[in-house]
Structure 1
Amino acid sequence: MCVTCGCGDDTNTHHHHHNHDHTHHHEHHQHKDAVNLEAEILAENKQFANQNRLLFKSKNALALNLVSSPGSGKTTLLEETIKQLSKKHKINVIEGDQHTELDADRIRKAGANAYQINTGKACHLDGHMVGHALEHLDIDNNSYVFIENVGNLICPALFDLGEHAKVVLISVTEGEDKPLKYPDMFLGAELVIITKTDLLPYLKFDLEQCITNIQKINSKAKIIPLSVNDPNSLTNWFNWLATAQQFYA
C-alpha cells in the first residue's frame, strides 16, 4: 500500500455485505473523504513541484522524470548517457528506491553526482522529496537533471515533480500490451523509450504492435527503440536530449 497517495487503501474499496443502509452511506462517505484527501495531497505536491520548476528555469537546466517498471533499464541507460555526455554537460541524478543506495552508487561510478532518496513504504517520489534532494546537488547552468523514479507504472503518473518532461521506459521483456494496461503513465509521456532491443531476436515481442499501442494512448509521444549496446540507437536518445534542452530549458 502506498502511504502517500493511498493506492491499495481500504477506503477506496466498496463492500456490500449488509442489508441496511448505514454501511452503504458510510462507504460513500469514506470514498468522498479519500477523494478529498487525494486532491489535497496533489495540490500540496503541485506547490513543491512549482518551486522545483522555478529552480530549473533559473539555471536553464533540463529536468526529466524517468519512469518505468522495475528492471526496464533506467539506471543502465543513465550510466551510458553519463559516460557519453558528461564531458559536454554537467549531469545530476536523483535516485528513487524504497531501500539501498545501489543505483546512486552506480551513477557516481559512471561519473555523475547522485542523491539517493529512499521512500520506504511509499511507491513514488513527490515534489517535496525532490526539492530536498536538489538542496544537496549543485545544479549548473544548462545542465541535465535526471530524476529516476521508483519502479512503478501507477502512482508516479499522478505526481508532478517539476520536471520539463516525463520519459517512460518499457523493455522488450515486458510485453507489448503494457501501454494499454497502464495508460495514465503513457498518456503523460513526452518520450517513450523501448529498451533492450538487442534481445528482440530471442523474444516473441512485436515491436510494431508495441509502437501502435503507445500511439493509441498518446499519439504525440516521441518513440525511440534502443539498446545501450547499439551506438546508433543511443544517438537518437542523445539527439532528443539536445533538442529538449533547447526547447524546454
Structure 2
Amino acid sequence: MKQITLKQQVLQGNKIIADKNRQILREHSVFMINLMSSPGAGKTTLLESSLPYIKKHVRIGVIEGDVATTLDAERIAAFGVNVAQINTHGACHLDAQMISRALASLDLNNLDLLVIENVGNLVCPSEFDLGENLRVSLLSITEGADKVMKYPSVFAYSDAVILNKLDLLPYVNFDMDQFLSTFQKCNPSAPIFKVSASNGEGMESWIRWLLQRKEDSCL
C-alpha cells in the first residue's frame, strides 16, 4: 500500500497553482521576487530604501504578507506603488493560492516588477513555490552567523542573500568569516549583498543586480 503524506499533497497542489501564477505573470511580462526573512530582519526597510531608485527604471508593485495588520503595506503605499495586502491570520507563510488572489487584485498590465514580502519566518516559506522568478533571503547581522546552519533550506534555495544592518557590525558579536564560509558551502552560486537598509550602505549593488535580472528575463 502506497502512503502519501499530507505534506506531499499540500505541496503538490501548491505547485500546480504556482505554475499558473507563473504563466499569468509571463503573459503580462511581470517579473516577481519572493523576499524571505525572519521577523525584524528589515524586509520592509529594505523595500523603503530600494523603492525610490527602482521606481526610476521600472513599474513596481508589492504584495505584503503579514499574520495581522496593514502596517507594512501602509509604509510601502506611501511611496506611491501598488500594494496588495495578505493577512494569513496565523499561518506562518504565504502559499500560491494566496498569491493568486493577490495577483487578481493588481493591475498587472501596469507592472514590470512585483515583490512579495513574505511572512517573517525562516522555515515554512522556503517550502512553498509561489510562482516567483527569484527567491531572495535577507538576514540581519543581529541574528547571528549561525542562521545558515540552523535554517539551511531557505538559504540553499535562494538566488541571492542580503546581509542587512551592516552599520551595527561593530556593536554585535557576528562572525563574518563563519557566515561567509558556511554560506559558500550551502549555496556557492548565490551572490551576497552586504547592506544597511537604514542608511543606504551597499544598496546600489543590490538594486543594480535586481534590475539586471529583470532585464535579462526579457531577453
Structure 2 counterpart of 1:244: 213
Mapping 1:92-241, distance limit 5 Å: 92-140=61-109, 143-231=112-200, 233-241=202-210
Given that 1:69 and 1:152 are in contact with CA atoms closer than 8 Å, whether structure 2 keeps it comes out as yes
Letter matched to residue 10 of structure 2: I
- Cα distance in 2, alignment partners of residues 248 and 36 from structure 1: 36
CA RMSD of aligned residues (A): 1.7
CA deviation vs aligned residue, 1:133-177 (integer Å, no higher than 9, x gap): 011111246611000110000010110000001100000100000
What CA deviation, in whole Å up to 9, does each residue of 1:75-127 have, x standing for no partner? 11111111222132111100111100111101101221111101012110000
TM-score by length of 1: 0.83
Rounded Cα–Cα distance in structure 1 between residues aligned with 2:136 and 2:76? 18
Q: Is the 8 A contact 2:48 2:76 kept in 1?
A: yes
Structure 1, unmatched stretches of 5+, are 1-28
Q: Percent identity?
A: 44
Report the count of equivalent residues. 218
Q: 1:103 and 1:232, CA in 2 relative to 1: closer, same or farther beyond 3 A? A: closer
Which runs of structure 2 are paired with 1:9-88 in the superposition (5 Å)?
Answer: 36-88=5-57
Give 5+ residue unaligned stretches, structure 2: none
Indicate the SS of the match to 2:179.
helix
User: Match of 1:152, SS?
Assistant: coil
Give the SS at the match of 1:135: helix
